[in-house]
Amino acid sequence: MNEVPKLIIFDLFDTILDKEWFNYDKLLDCLYDRYFGAFDRETLTEWASEFRHDNMLDRNTTNKETSFTDQLMYYEMKSGIKYPEEYESIEWELFRICRGEKVGRHVSEILDYLKSNGYTLAILSNSIFSSKCLTKYLESFGLSQYFDMIYSSADLKMRKPSPLVFNRVCTDFNVNPGDAWFIGNNREKDYQGAKNAGLKAVYYNRLGDECESHSITDLIELKTIMG
């Protein structure tokens, strides 16, 4: 990989941010306390299970994505209650309460290096939360300024490894897929998905297992790859 990329795209969770498992029960508790006290808590759990069954269980086979806003609208429809705030405001407030990631090892250093050397950077994340929400989250870590665009599957309505999402990012930047790199920690969704879409893929092999030749175990190794 000696070519100079015109665009470098990163995965977000467990690549830029060390992922904490999302506490969905805590999110439902917050929703219930704020908006659905007229019902019993089990009713909200049933609605959540219905939504998951109808919209989320086959995501890994269809690559189609739903969003947290879709869920909010579903609960509104089931309850007959109208939220007093905008969906975007509710999404961010609940996301902020229920997530607990930390910045990954050497992330700030490698982003400083890449940005100072003129590389164009983007994020492409599989997430039910919107790009606006993820941007605010990265702002809270002081990282959003490194990225020209932040993409979420929630907005694209498709998930990695679909080639459509990789190609959408490249199209937005007017870059041929072969001139773009993708760095991510998931072998199937990130590495293989990006390769199949025609991008140069780098597997962030956090666990150090046997893997493809284009892999790194620390993001700082991108300095060496770039020469």
What are the tens digits of pLDDT across the range 181-213?
Answer: 999 999 999 999 999 999 999 999 987 776 666
The pair of three-digit structure tokens given for residue 200, joined into one six-digit string: 């140069």
What local confidence, expressed as pLDDT, does residue 225 receive?
84
- Vertex 16 angle, CA 125 and 5, to 5°: 80
Residue 9: strand pairing partners: 122, 182
Per-position b or e across 187-221, b if 16+ CB within 10 A of its CB:
bebbbbbbbebbbbbbbbbbeeeeeeebbbeebee
Q: Residues 6 or more apart from 113 whose CB is under 8 A from it?
A: 222, 223
Measured CA to CA, the distance from residue 220 to residue 121 in angstroms comes to 15
Task: Provide the pLDDT confidence category of residue 108 given band limits of 50, 70 and 90.
Answer: very high
pTM of the model: 0.95
The pair of three-digit structure tokens given for residue 199, joined into one six-digit string: 């991008």
- Vertex 131 angle, CA 11 and 18, to 5°: 40
The region, left, alpha or beta by phi > 0 then psi within -120 to 50, assigned to residue 208 is left
**Placement of tokens 């007229």 in the chain:** 38
Could you report the per-residue pLDDT of 41-96, keeping only the tens digit for each?
A: 999 999 999 999 999 999 989 999 999 999 999 999 999 999 999 999 999 999 99
Beta carbons within 10 angstroms of residue 21's beta carbon: 7
DSSP 78-114: HH-PPPSS-HHHHHHHHHHHH---EEPTTHHHHHHHH
Domain boundaries defined on the chain:
7-19+102-225, 24-98
| Domain covering 7-19+102-225 assigned CATH 3.40.50.300 in the classification | no
Could you report the per-residue pLDDT of 13-51, keeping only the tens digit for each?
A: 999 999 888 888 999 999 999 999 999 999 999 999 999
